Amino acid sequence: MNSKMIKKIYILILLALLIFSKSIALENKIILKINNDIITSIDVLNEMSYLKFFNNSLTELKDEEIYKIALQSIIKFKIKKNEINKQVKNTSNINEEYLNLLIENRYKQLGFKNLSKFKEKLDYQNIDFKYFKDKLLIDIIWNEIIFIKYKDKLLINEDQLRKKLENQKNYEKKYKLLEIVYQIKNTSEADKIYASIIEDINELGFENAALKHSVSSTASNGGNLGWVDERILNKDILETLNEISINSISQPIRISGGFLILKKEEEKIVESKINIEEELSKIINYEKNEQLNNFSNLYYNKVKKDVVINAP
C-alpha cells in the first residue's frame, strides 16, 4: 500500500468516527475492502462491543481509540480467514471437543459458571455467540497451519533443559506478567516505536497498549500471561525481571522475531517439589508456543504483503 493510499485510509477512518453519532450509527457504510471482502461501519461497531466485553479496561478509552483497535482487529481476522480459505478445503473437520474446551476455558476466565449464563450475557450485550465461536475457530485453524509449516524448524534443546531442572532448588519464584511483543521494519525506527508504546502505556494503561501494539496471541487478552514459573524463562528475561520492581515496565528485550516489553505485576516464592518429567514437558510446550508465535507473526506479515487493502 503506498503512502497516498495510507493517508486516504486514515482520513476515511477519521470520517468514519462520525458513526458514533446517533443519527449516523444506523447506516451501514463500507470502510475498507480486503481483496474481495469488505469491512463495514456496523462490523466495526460490533467488533468494538466484542472487544469491550472481553477486555474491561477498554471501557476506559475514548471511542476513537477503541475504533482504531477494533478496525485493526477485524483486518487481522479477515486476512487470516482469507488465507485459511485458500489452504483448508473443509473447516468443519475441526476437533469439536477441543473447540468446546477452549470455549469453556474462556467463559470460566470471565467468571461465568456455565455456557448458558455466558450466552445469556452475550445476547444481552448484542454479541453473536457464533461470531465468538468463529473467532476461536479461525485461531485454531491458523495455529494448525503454522504448526504444520514450521514444526521442523522448532529448536528445543531437551538435554540442556533437563540439566537445568536437575539443578533446581526446592523452591521457585513465580511472576505475574503482562507482555507486549512488537516488531520493527528497520533499526532507525526502534526508539520512535518504543517511545510510542510507552506513551500509550502511560496514557491508556498496559493492557490497552497491548491491544493496540502487541503482535502476540496474548494481545486479545490485554497481554496477560498470568503466573509464570521462573524456570521456563530464559536468562535475559529473568535478569530483566530481577532488575525491575513490582508494577514496573521493562526495557525492550530482544527476542526471536521482534522485541518484548514486560510488566511485572506481582512475584512470589513457593515451595516446589520438582517432578522432572512434568516440568520438562511444561517447559518444552512453553518454548514451542513461543517459537510458533514468532513464526505466526512472520507468516502473517508475509501473507499481508500480498493482500490488497483499499478504501472505497
pLDDT in tens, 54-82: 888 888 888 888 998 999 999 999 999 99
User: Could you tell me if residue 166 is inside a domain?
Assistant: yes
User: Could you tell me if residue 163 is inside a domain?
Assistant: yes
Q: What percent of the chain has pLDDT over 90?
A: 39
Neighbouring C-beta atoms of residue 114, cutoff 10 Å: 11
Clarify whether residues 165 and 278 are in a common domain.
yes
Cα 258 to Cα 215: distance, rounded to the nearest angstrom: 9
Residue 252 belongs to domain with CATH number: 3.10.50.40
pTM of the model: 0.72
The residue segments making up the domain with residue 226 are 158-285
Task: Using alpha carbons, select from 107, 102, 31, 110 the residue that is nearest to residue 72.
Answer: 31
Clarify whether residues 254 and 201 are in a common domain.
yes
pLDDT value at residue 170: 67
pLDDT at 95 over 80: no
The three cell numbers locating residue 98 = 477441543
When divided into structural domains, the chain yields a total of 2
Per DSSP (E only), the strands in the chain are 30-34, 37-40, 171-182, 224-229, 248-249, 253-255, 258-271, 309-310
DSSP single-letter state for residue 188: G
pLDDT in tens, 112-170: 989 999 999 999 999 999 999 999 999 999 999 999 999 999 988 888 888 877 776 66
Clarify whether residues 141 and 164 are in a common domain.
no
Clarify whether residues 130 and 162 are in a common domain.
no
User: Could you tell me if residue 251 is inside a domain?
Assistant: yes
The three cell numbers locating residue 276 = 522432572
The three cell numbers locating residue 172 = 521457585
SS3 state of residue 88? coil
pLDDT in tens, 227-281: 998 888 888 899 999 999 999 999 999 887 789 999 999 999 877 677 788 888 8
User: Could you tell me if residue 237 is inside a domain?
Assistant: yes
Clarify whether residues 135 and 166 are in a common domain.
no
Clarify whether residues 180 and 101 are in a common domain.
no
User: Could you tell me if residue 292 is inside a domain?
Assistant: no
Clarify whether residues 169 and 276 are in a common domain.
yes
